[in-house]
A = this chain, B = another copy of it.
Amino acid sequence: MAVTLHDVARVAGVSIKTVSNVINAYPHIRPATRERVEAAIAELGYVPNLTARSLKSGRTGAIALAVPELGLSYFAELAAAVIEAAEAAGLVVLVEQTGGDRDRELELLRSPRLKMTDGLIFSALGMSEADVASLDVDFPVVLLGERIFGGPTDHVTMRNVEAARAATEYLIASGRRRIAVVGAHEGEVVGSAALRMQGYLEALEAHGIDYDESLIGYTTLWHRSNGARSITELLDRGAEFDAVFGLNDTLALGAMRVLQASGRRVPEDVAVMGFDDLDEAGYSIPSLTTVDPGQRWIAQTAVATLMERIATGAELGPPRLLLADFRIAERESAGAVRAQRVS
């Protein structure tokens, strides 16, 4: 079935090493020989066996990307960006879904399946600081997300605190005082939720606004339905607010839907701010003002960093923390100047 170097060598009347040399652009080959070999390759339709090449070279040309779930738009867009960046670098990407589950994440790190790749871009969601030792594996890892800081691997992520603070201050600047939050994680001190909450709190404090626990909606997974459910709970218990900060876009969109269904106008009655700048944020009604946390840069940097580690190994020095720049993507759901009535 499969055509090998042996077959090509036989047809071309040379040794297999010469065929190998032609393929790998070794310079010292007579033009006549090269032509015969190339003709044989074309005739037989030879395609190199990458598995064998990998075994010999120790490199596979593949990297793994582990995300919680591709069904979550944020991770789908992250995966798209990583695959694009990897392809530009001649790498292929193996995608794993962990479900954001700690045990599956830990299992993944130990899995022999990763032996088929040169390294891992790992978007952790379930692991915590206590599991940091598990990251100390014998292949290069680039960590994404904010579950763990100060681990043994390079880490590419976003400025969660600053960005959330800027988002909150953006709402404050437009005259909002009672800013609800959806997506907080109860009692958590690490992770995106905690960091964004911290930014929220810093903004409130800087502007002399008291923190009101009754405006905080807690939810575990950042699915769309949870944003809807969370804001429904706030409304049901009579919370009053003039803005909602969704700790991600999906939550914000779910919340926005409920607000509108309940007769509130966005942004006139309630401003809504998201976080992530998904594609979708530009197409909701109204379009969603949100934080662009620099996802594309994160994807590109993660791939580039991983490739450096693969190429140079530990000599590259101690683990690095790389942070993306952010910006507020201003759209309709929250405006710098409050749109209509000043209530």
**What residues make up the interface of A, taking CB atoms closer than 8 Å to B?**
1-2, 47-52, 54-55, 60-62, 69-71, 73, 76-77, 79-80, 83-84, 87, 92-97, 110, 112-113, 115-116, 138, 224-225, 228, 253-254, 256-257, 260-261, 279-280, 282-285
Contacts and interface: CB of A to CB of B under 8 A. Distances in A.
Given A50-B116, A76-B76, 16 more contacts: A47-B112, A48-B112, A50-B113, A50-B115, A51-B60, A51-B115, A62-B116, A70-B70, A70-B77, A73-B73, A73-B76, A76-B79, A83-B97, A95-B95, A253-B283, A261-B285
A187 B235 CA distance: 51
A51 B228 contact: no
A97 B87 contact: yes
A184 B282 CA distance: 23
Contacts of A138: 1-2
A257 B279 contact: no
A50 B94 contact: no
Contacts of A79: 70, 76, 79, 95
Nearest to A93: B95
A96 B115 contact: no
A106 to B, nearest CB: 15
Q: What copy number does this chain have within its complex?
A: 2
A254 B322 CA distance: 36
A115 B62 contact: no
The 10 closest A-B pairs by CB, nearest first: A76-B76, A70-B80, A50-B115, A71-B80, A51-B54, A224-B283, A95-B95, A47-B112, A257-B285, A51-B55
Contacts of A112: 47-48, 50
Contacts of A50: 112-113, 115-116
21 contacts: A47-B112, A50-B112, A51-B54, A51-B60, A51-B116, A54-B116, A61-B113, A61-B116, A69-B80, A76-B79, A83-B95, A83-B96, A84-B97, A92-B94, A94-B94, A94-B95, A95-B95, A224-B279, A253-B283, A257-B283, A260-B285
Nearest to A78: B70
Nearest to A54: B51
Contacts of A49: 55, 115
Contacts of A76: 70-71, 73, 76, 79-80
A319 to B, nearest CB: 19
Contacts of A256: 285
Contacts of A84: 97
Contacts of A61: 113, 116
Nearest to A70: B80
Contacts of A282: 224-225
